[in-house]
Structure 1
Amino acid sequence: MAPGSKPTVPSSVHLGQIQVQKKLGAGCFGEVYKGFHTGLKADVAIKFEAVHNQSPQLCHEAEMLKLLQPGDLQGFARFFYFAEEGNYNCLAMEFLGKSLEDHVQMCGGQFSPKTACLVAQQVLMRIEYLHSRGIVHRDIKPENFMWGVGPKVHHLYLIDFGLSKRYWDKRHVNSSQKLSLTGTARYASLNAHRGMEQSRRDDLEAIGHMLMYFLRSSLPWSGLEARTKKEKYQKIKEKKESTNLVELCEGHPTAFRTYLEYARKLGFKDRPDYVMLRRLFVELRAQLQKDQGKPIEDWHFEWLEGKEHEELDALLPYDDLKQPDDEAAPERPRSLCCFCGGSQVRN
């Protein structure tokens, strides 16, 4: 290998069980490849990160993925393998499809209220599960939500836990201040901009900003010019603080403004009312369904309507989850379907 050149990723990993195929993209951590798991006979996504990376993330992400393995809960990629392979740390997981950001661009830069509502319902399920495991994501953005493939093409997955952190370890972590911004400035919460330790409220607020991006196609603090990253972050923070939520959400269903108002009022250690938040979008979906005079199915996203979907895997009814700070587990007599609002029984 020539001096200064980058080592080549291996052609296979996991003692040859996983074949490395084509490169899909790259990020701050390293590169992503498509691969094939010969034992499972399934496509996989493989992340490679240089062993001597100054800010390694894959080992931490592998630990997070192990904690999140959901059994029959949908929306989290299956974790297959992590190890050091030659010059690289290697992480293999379930292969997924396009991201939310990909689909925003495919839809001309914004989603209809119906699509945004359907997305919101699944996003809230994913974040509630993550929080129930004592973890906050800390980098909510459209690129970190991806769709499944095949019969799961309408299943939304939460990905990329390299910046995730435990907020609960026998008790809630204490608040810290004067921290640098972690996450993506466009969607970050106001308190994250202010240097506060992040907790559940910050993931929820970032989701609210992301949902408004879907509806508006841009946010008032997007595209601000600055000479340095520090100056840009300061301008984004100031614009975010000065933008009234009524103004931000004007012309769009009130559920989105109500959601953001609630998220911004939460205290650092507050236990969010996920049931109430999901109900906002159950009710919005019911209203949109009434307005259009026909049912809105779980797969009625703009890019899937008009196609045949007889073989899709149904989204499971959703149970309320016990959070770490709940004194007792909630009663679970029957599952409340968070999509239609009715009661269903698991098969």
Structure 2
Amino acid sequence: MGLCYGKNISVVEDEGDRRQTPSDAVNIPSVKNTPIHSTSNSTWPSPYPHGTSPLPAGVPPSPARSTPRRFFRRPFPPPSPAKHIKASLAKRQGPAKPKEGPIPEDGSEAERPLDKSFGYGKNFAAKYELGKEVGRGHFGHTCLARARKGEIKGQSVAVKIISKAKMTTAISIEDVRREVKILKALSGHKNLIKFYDACEDANNVYIIMELCEGGELLDRILSRGGRYTEEDAKAIIVQTLSVVAFCHLQGVVHRDLKPENFLFTTRDEDAPMKLIDFGLSDFIRPDERLNDIVGSAYYVAPEVLHRSYSMEADIWSVGVITYILLCGSRPFWARTESGIFRAVLRADPNFDDSPWPAVSPEAKDFVKRLLNKDYRKRMTAAQALSHPWLRDKHCPVPLDILIYRLVKSYLRATPFKRATLKMDQLSYKKIDFEEFCAAAISTYQLEALEGWEQIASTAFEHFEQEGNRVISVEELAREMNLGPTSHSIIHDWIRDSDGKLSFLGYTKFLHGVTIRSSNTRHQ
């Protein structure tokens, strides 16, 4: 996973039933917005020499956060030791390059200092009165504060304090800039943490956000003994998918969705949740793929480990959270970090043991369609909100970014490809509802359904009547952007009897959309 660390896991022995703490899996160290409450009066010794702490005046050392007893059905031993931070940074930065510039006359090697000026306001102390520290992460900590002036004067807030001393690379500086930029860009959703302000001084960057005092989702799961009823789980997952769909529509992938990163606004049972901690998030274009491995081991998607992923990786994490809510166990578990990764890549979640036989078929289908190892077959957040297990006619479904990608591919595909999805000719200047529905088809998602064979067979019957035509192996290869070496493979997709696509060729061809630039679109 690179750049990882693990927490100590306490073991509870009770009448032969060995249960352990499902601590924070394995994380890329980012400044974590810990729930805003203190569970211990003991103090945490400062890591800095006396008188040299970079904390603002009046900020006490971090309190030790006692971990509640966490009961799950299966033992969760600690992960393997994490890789060193330098190794991970080296992977992200690539091979070392020779430094450019003039050679110093004194023979010493001059290094350009890192620019740690962010352009944020310098008047933090005048605008906010800091309180006690309530959480500590790898690069900083979170404190309570009260606004002295401005629109939120007198209001309690949470301040994420990131130490500039720990920004030792240009990447770490850019990570902070990106987090603030994302928080500014994502505003207006009821399940998203509110961003108020960003300040800086010589020692720290301060990110001022909404204060959530209800604790983490993880703590509530543990307080219930590890399991939610289906109805209670639905309330959690609807909020989760709603905010994830919002982020994806704005072009942001979170990359670290887990119960620890959802806070409740208050301690009321029905308090709304807020998604926090965008330290690992990134902006992404609809057709872009990311390749850096970040996140938490138990929630990481298979394609992340393969270093080629997009927004679908967040949906996998939601699937893991749903699985935990419904049964109290992680779907993928091992004693080491590498073992967890192997399980994610190769193992299938267990839906046979208790309590799964008592879980509704709709709930199991929902989880399976999120935890599909083929990211192309996973539901999107918007689609998941429309699933029979969650669908509520009174709750609007957000726009789906996948529709944009599918329609774009359809409009830029060859006429023959469009004919496999719809029988009529594409209108150049407008698209009717029937055509839009054809454009919005994801054949990969259809293939994940139990009735896929019947769906494909019915579609092929229409294609035979309206769109199937004689096609050569060479022409079919050009349609799919394939080279001459593929001719032997696609030869079997064409019927010898009439030279048209067979049913096998039809289903194979559906997966291979040929993208053409808009100025070469055929009529």
TM beyond 0.5? yes
Match of 2:519 in 1: none
Q: Does residue 239 of structure 1 match 2:343? A: yes
SS of corresponding position for 2:338 = helix
1:179-224 Cα shifts (integer Å, max 9, x gaps): 4x3101111112223x3233121100111011111222222544x3
**1:6 aligned residue (29, 50, 53):** 53
1:88-115 Cα shifts (integer Å, max 9, x gaps): 1111111012110121122223222221
**2:398 aligned residue (315, 320, 326):** 320
**2:288 aligned residue (149, 173, 183):** 173
Distance 1:323 1:10, change over 3 A: farther
Unpaired stretches in structure 2, ≥5 consecutive residues: 1-47, 60-122, 409-432, 434-523
Give distance in 2, aligned partners of 1:207 and 1:123. 8
Match of 1:16 in 2: 126
RMSD: 3.3
Distance 1:235 1:100, change over 3 A: same
Distance 1:285 1:157, change over 3 A: same
SS of corresponding position for 1:196 = coil
Match of 1:126 in 2: 243
Task: Single out whichever of 183-192 and 105-114 deviates more from structure 2.
Answer: 105-114
Alpha-carbon distance, 1:19 to partner: 0.9
Give distance in 1, aligned partners of 2:360 and 2:378. 25
Distance 1:4 1:208, change over 3 A: farther
Match of 1:59 in 2: 177
**1:45 aligned residue (149, 158, 161):** 158
- What amino acid is aligned across from residue 126 of structure 2 in structure 1? G
**1:140 aligned residue (241, 257, 260):** 257
Contact 2:332 2:343 in 1 (8 A): yes
Task: Single out whichever of 201-210 and 12-21 deviates more from structure 2.
Answer: 12-21
Structure 2 counterparts to residues 152-167 of structure 1, below 5 A: 154-167=271-284
- What amino acid is aligned across from residue 303 of structure 2 in structure 1? N
Q: Does residue 74 of structure 1 match 2:190? A: yes
Give distance in 2, aligned partners of 1:69 and 1:162. 16
Match of 1:342 in 2: none
Contact 2:142 2:160 in 1 (8 A): yes
Q: Does residue 29 of structure 1 match 2:139? A: yes
Distance 1:3 1:61, change over 3 A: same
Query: Bigger radius of gyration, 1 or 2?
Result: 2
SS of corresponding position for 1:186 = helix
Contact 2:140 2:163 in 1 (8 A): yes
Q: Does residue 257 of structure 1 match 2:364? A: yes
Task: Single out whichever of 262-271 and 14-23 deviates more from structure 2.
Answer: 262-271
Percent identity of the aligned residues?
A: 20
SS of corresponding position for 2:300 = coil
Match of 1:301 in 2: none
Match of 1:289 in 2: none
**1:200 aligned residue (285, 301, 311):** 311
- What amino acid is aligned across from residue 52 of structure 1 in structure 2? A
Match of 2:80 in 1: none
Match of 1:290 in 2: none
SS of corresponding position for 1:108 = coil
Contact 2:238 2:390 in 1 (8 A): no
Alpha-carbon distance, 1:279 to partner: 2.6
SS of corresponding position for 1:89 = strand
Alpha-carbon distance, 1:152 to partner: 10
Distance 1:247 1:183, change over 3 A: farther
Task: Single out whichever of 239-248 and 117-126 deviates more from structure 2.
Answer: 239-248
Distance 1:154 1:318, change over 3 A: farther
Structure 2 counterparts to residues 335-346 of structure 1, below 5 A: none
Give distance in 2, aligned partners of 1:11 and 1:153. 35
Alpha-carbon distance, 1:281 to partner: 6.0
1:17-73 Cα shifts (integer Å, max 9, x gaps): 211111111112310001111331211000111112234543321111011011xx3
SS of corresponding position for 2:329 = coil
SS of corresponding position for 2:330 = coil
Contact 1:47 1:92 in 2 (8 A): yes
Distance 1:102 1:18, change over 3 A: same
1:284-338 Cα shifts (integer Å, max 9, x gaps): 889xxxxxxxxxxxxxxxxxxxxxxxxxxxxx9545225286259xx9xxxxxxx
Contact 1:201 1:264 in 2 (8 A): no
Give distance in 2, aligned partners of 1:220 and 1:319. 28
Alpha-carbon distance, 1:233 to partner: 2.6
Contact 1:22 1:34 in 2 (8 A): yes
- What amino acid is aligned across from residue 287 of structure 2 in structure 1? H
Alpha-carbon distance, 1:244 to partner: 4.2
Number of equivalent positions: 285
1:255-289 Cα shifts (integer Å, max 9, x gaps): 34323433345866789544431133655889xxx
Give distance in 2, aligned partners of 1:24 and 1:284. 38
Distance 1:23 1:175, change over 3 A: closer
Contact 1:83 1:89 in 2 (8 A): yes
Match of 2:111 in 1: none
Match of 2:76 in 1: none
Distance 1:105 1:132, change over 3 A: same
- What amino acid is aligned across from residue 162 of structure 2 in structure 1? E
